Chain A
Amino acid sequence: MTARVAIVGAGPAGAFAADRLLRARGDVEIDLFERLPTPWGLLRAGVAPDHQEIKRLDETFDEQTLRRGCRFFGNVEVGVDITHQDLMSHYSAVIYATGAQTDKSLGIPGEDLPGSRPATEFVAWYNGHPDYRDLEFDLSARRAVVIGNGNVAADVTRMLTLSPDELARTDVADHALDVLRQSRVEEVVVLGRRGPAQAAFTSAELRELGRMDGVDLRVDPAEVELDPLSARWLDEDGTFTARKNVELLREFAAREPRAEAPRTIVLRFLRSPVEIRGEGRVEAIDIRRNEIVRADDGTLRPRPVDDDLETIECGLVLRSVGYRAVPLPGVPFDERSFILPNDRGRVLTPDGKPLPGVYAVGWIKRGPTGILGTNKRDAEETVTRLAEDLAAGACPAPPNRGRAQIDALLADRQSDLVTVDAWRAIDARELEAGLQQERPRVKLASREELLAAAAGAGT
């Protein structure tokens, strides 16, 4: 009997898992469930529009999964349209690849004032994620503050400072392009609570910030001077990236200011936000200076130097301090690590035993770390366990094992099911519109538009 496997979440982790599983076991049938009408998760809704070369990975995902017979069930949310139990009664195994859908909070006063938002929402908005298209970002003040020092912080900083003409050549969502064209933001201040040696940017992202057209990148030379602990760490244990970052930041700090540049990015280090303030909406942020100290566990951490506050006036705050996963109905969840408790991909019950037939891959398995390719090795690990369990007969036999049974259930639960053909109709529509406007694609950014295009498939 052919084993049938459901993968929940058609982002990079789900796509790599499907690919690895087909390589490991050519005889399995895979159904890819996705709550959006479109596949590829953060490749579509996360990767910045000016990084089109990376979005090209969608062709590989398509070839390695959908073109090899994986079925796509889009616009189906597990836990809402169908349950975990429904899946368990139709599949030998279920792999959760649902990622980390919400953001970490800062825990400071004023965090939720209008005008202060998670950077991840801004990302989803400019990338045309249908759940975020109606958000409003007020770009009428001349200064914005980005909190965080990772690649999402770098992405949103670029998006706030790229010229509208450059943006217009990308697949940025049209509703976002309209707002960004009217933007009055002239300066973006990026706050890192630790020093230059600890910045989480890749050197590629940092380098990019330093070479944008029409942007003056400013770094205070005093803030890139390393404290003795960081200098020693960099010398003895620093990664190639950390050394490159410090080198780049020193180079930026030594540059002559470009007064003629219409927009400015200011990178600040050793600064923590203390409070976001304003009458009814964001007007300013108070920050405090940190120093680097060695914590008990040996890591280098920031500690406030004194109680002195510096106030930065701004009209927008984007908080980029990390993603966080949310629990899935009917499946164990580790409330401290925000992942599915698992052993190399086998999901575990609260008493630490494998939950037969349930697996995890990607951010919901390991937490929100790593880059796209990291998911390939992660998927390999999970699929190895699954293949072992299938070979050993350790996955429970589902009572409804035929394709027809899940198809009937889905027809009953979701009348707007988006199949592979329906997704191809959406894709063709977007690419065709892109061709006409000399853009990589023009995204349909609401569920209504997406489903209307999907219906054009005649399915």
Chain B
Amino acid sequence: MTYVIAGSCIKDDSCVEVCPVDCIHPKPGAPDFETAEQLYIDPDECIDCDACVEACPVDAIFPDFDVPEKFAYALELNAEFFAEASTADRTRTAA
């Protein structure tokens, strides 16, 4: 499984600080950080540890099996961000 970040993310980077495997992007300082509307979790890297859920001040992070209906799109969106990022080499090199 993986955790996913919904569109209610406020880009407070508390989740990035606590993620033990660095799977939340873009990170502060990365070239696409300022223009990103939210942060995303890489489903291939996430180890389901729950640390980000605890850290998020607006409860914007959900386990993939428990995403509220109104945020259902987020699962695909998080994965898509990384699929694009790996082709365009957008995010992780600078992070």
Contact = CB atoms under 8 A, between A and B. Distances in A.
A294 interface: no
A373 B7 contact: no
Given A54-B10, A57-B10, 7 more contacts: A53-B8, A207-B7, A208-B7, A240-B84, A244-B77, A372-B10, A372-B11
Per CB-CB distance, the 9 closest pairs between chain A and chain B, nearest first, are A204-B7, A373-B11, A373-B12, A60-B57, A202-B37, A372-B10, A373-B10, A239-B35, A241-B37
A51 B10 CA distance: 12
Nearest to A243: B84
Interface string A184-211: 0000000000000000001111011001
Contact of A54 (B8, B32, B73): B8
Contacts, number: 62
Interface string B32-50: 1011111000000000000
Contacts of B10: 54, 57, 371-373
A239 B81 CA distance: 11
Contact of A376 (B12, B35, B38, B73): B12
B36 A373 contact: no
Given A204-B7, A241-B37, A53 B59 contact: yes
A56 interface: yes
B18 interface: no
A68 to B, nearest CB: 15
Contact of B81 (A51, A204, A240, A371): A240
A211 B68 CA distance: 14
B21 interface: no
B1 interface: no
B60 interface: yes
A373 B37 contact: no
A53 B7 contact: no
A56 B7 contact: no
Interface residues of A, number: 26
Say what secondary structure dominates the interface of chain A.
helix
Contacts of A102: none
A416 to B, nearest CB: 31
Contacts of A376: 12-13
Interface string A360-381: 0000000000111110110000
A203 B81 CA distance: 13
Nearest to B90: A240
Interface string B3-19: 00011111111000000
Contacts of A241: 35-37
Contacts of B12: 57, 372-373, 376
B13 A373 contact: yes
B28 interface: yes
A57 B58 contact: yes
B28 A56 contact: no
Contacts of B36: 239-241
Contacts of A373: 9-13
Contacts of A307: none
A243 to B, nearest CB: 8
Given A54-B10, A202-B37, A239-B35, A207 B73 contact: yes
A279 interface: no
A239 B31 CA distance: 11
Nearest to B39: A373
20 contacts: A51-B8, A53-B60, A54-B8, A54-B10, A56-B57, A59-B57, A60-B57, A202-B7, A202-B38, A203-B7, A204-B7, A207-B73, A240-B32, A240-B36, A370-B34, A371-B11, A371-B37, A372-B12, A373-B9, A374-B11
Contacts of B81: 240
Contact of B57 (A57, A208, A211, A240): A57
Contacts of B9: 373
Contacts of B34: 370, 374
Interface in A34-88: 51, 53-54, 56-57, 59-60
A244 B70 CA distance: 17
Contacts of A239: 32, 35-36
